[in-house]
Amino acid sequence: MSTTTTATAATGATTGDGPSYPPTDRTVPTRSRQRASYDKDVVHAILDEGYVCHLGFIRDGAPVVLPTLYGRIGERLYVHGSTGSRPLRMAGAKEPAEAPGLPVCLTVTHVDGLVLARSAFHHSLNYRSVVVHGTAHQVTDPDELRSALDALVDQVVPGRAADSRPANAKELAATAVIRLDLEEVSAKVRTGGPNDDAEDLPLPHWAGVVPVAPRTGTPVASADLDPAIALPSYLTAR
């Protein structure tokens, strides 16, 4: 039996009626398997709502996890770095056919609520997360690199890439991007209230959910900005 078949049989997660990623031994969670999803629409929605990821890899025999920016174009993630960063150097400067690349694990998480139960043990979080396993490669094609950089900017502020000066040759030479294909992927989602034990329900402790949501403040113009330049529509709509 294949790894994918074994994993599919072992998980209670749903793959949905639409396109989905095949479960594997690495993408099937060991706990709360019913919260896992391999539906591509679910995964894409979670990824598209964020812009900070955590990139894990092995360096000198020890695990390293770095926070960084990412962007998505179709079934591929692009991760930002500099030409001097260790993961970028380890990912190789050659094309994937010639370079082995860097085995990585990339995660994105959104916290939606603090779940307060009557017992300390049953406190939890409502969250949405994505875990991606794969091999990252450095982007070397100039056109792909420019598209990747645009995607990274627009991931943070949609519409901003077209409203800023593109990177020049010197800046491109100092900037590096790695790509990671979305192939071995899973999402995990928790919603709802606390799961208290029946014997704890009469206890005199408040229980419920404290919602958590990201918030952006009012834009503050740079001190040297020409007063004639108005706030762009993509910021007024936020």
For position 8, what pLDDT does the model report?
A: 45
Q: How far is CA 158 from the centre of its chain?
A: 16
How far apart are the C-alpha atoms of 87 and 66, rounded to whole Å?
9
Between 170 and 98, where is the model more confident? 170
Q: How far apart are CA 157 and CA 155, in angstroms?
A: 6
Distance CA 89, CA 105 (A): 17
* pLDDT computed for residue 100 by the predictor: 79
Q: How does pLDDT run across 60-99, given as a tens digit for each residue?
A: 899 999 999 999 999 999 999 765 566 666 666 555 455 6
Residue 212: burial class (beta carbons within 10 Å; 0-12, 13-18, 19+):
middle
How many whole angstroms separate alpha carbon 156 and alpha carbon 135?
24
Q: What is the pLDDT of residues 118-161, one digit of tens each?
A: 999 999 999 999 999 999 999 999 899 999 999 999 999 999 99
Distances in Å between the Cα of 140 and the Cα atoms of 146, 147, 198 are 10, 12, 58
Of the pLDDT bands very low, low, confident and very high (cuts 50, 70, 90), residue 5 is very low
pLDDT at 11 over 50: no
Taking the C-alpha atoms of residue 77 and residue 139, their distance in angstroms, rounded to an integer, is 11
pLDDT digits (tens, 9 = 90+) for 24-56: 999 988 888 889 999 999 999 999 999 999 999
The per-residue pLDDT for 13 is 56
Percent of the chain residues past pLDDT 90, beyond the cut: 72
Q: Give the tokens for residue 115.
A: 């779940």
The 10s digit of each residue's pLDDT in 210-233 is 999 999 999 999 999 999 999 999
pLDDT at 196 over 50: yes
User: How much is the mean pLDDT over the chain?
Assistant: 88
Distance CA 108, CA 233 (A): 28
Phi–psi pair at 129, nearest 5 degrees? -140, 155
pLDDT of 191 > 80? The answer is yes
Token duo for residue 129: 């997360």
Q: What was the pLDDT predicted at 29?
A: 84
The DSSP 8-state label assigned to residue 9 in this structure reads: H
Q: Has this prediction a pTM greater than 0.75?
A: yes
Q: Does residue 115 contact residue 193 with C-beta atoms inside 8 Å?
A: yes
